[in-house]
Amino acid sequence: MQWINLFLANLWKEYLEMKRYLPNTIALVLTFYFIFLGLFGVIHFFGDPSTQDVNIQFVIVNYIFWFLALSVIQMFGFEIVNEAIRGTLEQLSMSPMGIWRILSTRLIASTIIYGIIIFVLLIITMLTAGQWLNIDILSIFPIFVLTVFGMYGVGLMVGGLAIVYKQIQAFLQILQFLLAGLTFIPLAASPFMYFLPFVIGVDLVRDIMIGGQTLIDIGWLPLTILFINAFVYFIAGLLFFNYCERMAMKKGLLGQY
Amino acid sequence: MEKIIEISNLTKTYRKRKSREVIQAVNDVDFNVYKGEILGLLGPNGAGKTTTIKLICGLLYPDSSEIKIKGIPNTDSRLESLQYISAVLEGNRNLYWRLTVRENLEYFAGNRGRSRKEVKEEIDKLLQMFRLKDKENELVNRLSRGMQQKLAIAVAMLANTEVMLLDEPTLCLDVQTGLEVREILKSIVSNYQRTIIISSHDMDVIQDICDRTVIINQGTVVIDQRVDELIKLFEVRSYRLTLTEPLSLDQQKAISTRFPTNEYVEDQAYSYLTVQLEKSEDIYQIFQVLQLNRTPIDSIDRKAIRFDEVFLKIIQGDHQYAMD
């Protein structure tokens, strides 16, 4: 029950802050949409006409996952830095629920809110592009959850760095491009991609949304690999975060910015 | 009395980032906190007060020893021990400025696993108690500093913990709000049976509301005593003699030899001699000196001493004398 109350409190706070910072939220959504329009225009006017439809569909899925990965992975770091600047990080650390639980529930809450925004944007981008992807919710949902779970693990690692070093904005800028690479490069490019976080999840979603496959078509092996991949990254992220939190407490860096 | 917090042989060192120089922030600190008391933690800037508070809150790990909160070691079982502690560490900066007063209270309660429904009545009571009811839907960034400070304390209250730690609770508050906060803190202890630890530079606050004070200097506890006893200790030994004739040079010399910290002032009508006595019976030594010239005494007064003077004496190394 405590977990549910914790989650509801953070969902409520995320919603309120999004409402209070409405211009910022609108700017974020519009930026996302206009960047997509730019990509669409490039493919439409300069791309190979014979593969244009597939390319556009590919860009829609990748772009949406890039946006999601950016939101989920960077948010841990941003939240920690913002809380340290505000002066509330130590206050959160004094909750018997533990800071990682608070930030995780906040992250789940914002994933839900961003998930809704992304879904609306997906519909708008498909309308704009005139390309309709296969939105098979039953097949996409479990893969989506596992993929996001793996992203949380990477987010926790970024959060761990933020809790010790705080000034990680430059690193987060670079991270954007690394995440673009992970979401845009297909799994077939290299077998090593299986070991990287969430690449397999994005690839499976592409198979469903562009290739029209179902969970049964995909089979148990890729799903098992996705599960192991997500689980390993999440556990590694959690261990790393706790290690960094302990280090910050030993060195007295927790509330410093 | 029941011990709520036990601190023994607490040590914490830091290493400076650039020079790698080791700083001893807290050195072998020992004291206990008892249920239902208001303890004042005092010390000059850089003495180790904030480090001690953060160690108690589990926000820092000690180099050696441990702190027990209700018998639970706060390093090994940090989250469990935090069930008994709440704190206001940075005053109004502990709040979310883009949330309202009520939303802040609800959010922080939620972070301790409590639902909005469950805390609704408690929040109503706290808003009344802290006189924030008419501001409950106001964004925090629109409140005065005093109101923000009261809200931060209300947030800590809502945590329903046995111990509350307050770092400079009256800092930057106007006189009226400062007094209001003092009254609130007193009522928290008497009506809600909480234990409060206050770190402050405001000696009036400590003297007014604290039962006991722990004074830290250069990372070490130099005094752990009841506030009233501490004042009495200095008070009874500080005397001011008003003389109707001036002291001769020989008399002044004799007084200075026996009481090096004496203060002697003359004006046209009277002479004033202020002395600190190590033992009450030392006053007879002064009478002996005065008797040499049969200097008439107009009055002898016990000098009233303020708590900030006591604090300064202790910090300046007079604590050995006080501990006699």
CA distance A151 to A236: 12
Give yes or no for residue A11 having a pLDDT over 80.
yes
Contact B94 A88 (CB under 8 A): yes
Q: Is A5 on the interface with B (CB under 8 A)?
A: yes
Residue whose C-alpha is closest to residue B41's, from B31, A137, A51: B31
Give yes or no for residue B311 having a pLDDT over 90.
no
CA distance A140 to A132: 15
Q: What is the mean pLDDT of residues B202-211?
A: 86
User: Which positions in chain B touch A14 (Cβ < 8 Å)?
Assistant: none
Give yes or no for residue A192 having a pLDDT over 90.
no
Local confidence band at A228 (pLDDT 50, 70, 90 cut-offs): very high
> What single-letter amino acid sits at A13?
K
Give yes or no for residue B324 having a pLDDT over 60.
no
Q: What is the mean pLDDT of residues B51-55?
A: 91
pLDDT at B296: 93
Minimal Cα–Cα distance from B126 to chain A, Å?
A: 19
Residue whose C-alpha is closest to residue B241's, from B226, B215, B259, B229: B259
Give yes or no for residue B237 having a pLDDT over 80.
no
Q: What is the mean pLDDT of residues A163-183?
A: 86
Burial code of B251-284, b = ≥16 C-beta within 10 A, e = fewer? bbebbeeebeeeebeeeeeebebbbbeeeeeeee
First to last CA, chain A: 34
Minimal Cα–Cα distance from B110 to chain A, Å?
A: 5
Interface probe for A, chosen from B111, B115, B117, B142 (most Cβ of A below 10 Å), is: B111
User: Which positions in chain A touch B26 (Cβ < 8 Å)?
Assistant: none
Distance of CA A186 to the CA centre of its chain: 18
Out of A9, A20, A246, name the one closest to residue B110 (CB): A9
Contact A17 B61 (CB under 8 A): no
Give yes or no for residue A237 having a pLDDT over 90.
yes
Contact B83 A96 (CB under 8 A): yes
Local confidence band at A179 (pLDDT 50, 70, 90 cut-offs): confident
CA distance A86 to A88: 6
Out of A5, A21, A87, name the one closest to residue B114 (CB): A5
CA distance B88 to B96: 13
pLDDT at B303: 73
Give yes or no for residue B112 having a pLDDT over 90.
yes
Minimal Cα–Cα distance from B54 to chain A, Å?
A: 9
DSSP category for residue A49: G
Give yes or no for residue B210 having a pLDDT over 70.
yes
Alpha helix (H) ranges present in chain B? 49-56, 78-81, 101-110, 116-129, 145-158, 175-192, 203-209, 227-235, 249-258, 283-292, 307-313, 319-323
pLDDT at B253: 93
Give yes or no for residue B250 having a pLDDT over 70.
yes
Query: Sign (positive/negative) of CA torsion B251, B256, B261, B267?
Result: positive
pLDDT at B321: 43
Q: What is the mean pLDDT of residues B216-225?
A: 88
Tokens in use for A54? 């597939």
Give yes or no for residue B322 having a pLDDT over 50.
no
Closest alpha carbon within chain B to A19: B98
8 A C-beta contact, residue B77 and residue B113 = no
CA distance A14 to A106: 7
Q: What is the ipTM of this complex?
A: 0.85
Give yes or no for residue B16 having a pLDDT over 90.
no
Contact A88 B93 (CB under 8 A): yes
Q: Is A26 on the interface with B (CB under 8 A)?
A: no
Q: Is A23 on the interface with B (CB under 8 A)?
A: no
Give yes or no for residue A221 having a pLDDT over 80.
yes
Q: Is A251 on the interface with B (CB under 8 A)?
A: yes
**Per-chain mean pLDDT for chain B:** 87
User: Which positions in chain B touch A3 (Cβ < 8 Å)?
Assistant: 113
Minimal Cα–Cα distance from B170 to chain A, Å?
A: 18
Contact B86 A96 (CB under 8 A): no
Chain A stretch 94-113, residues whose beta carbon is closer than 8 A to a beta carbon of chain B: 94-98, 102
The pTM is what? Answer: 0.82
Closest alpha carbon within chain B to A247: B61
Contact B103 A13 (CB under 8 A): yes
In this structure, what are the phi and psi dihedrals at residue B61, rounded to the nearest 5 degrees? -95, 130
Contact A94 B83 (CB under 8 A): no
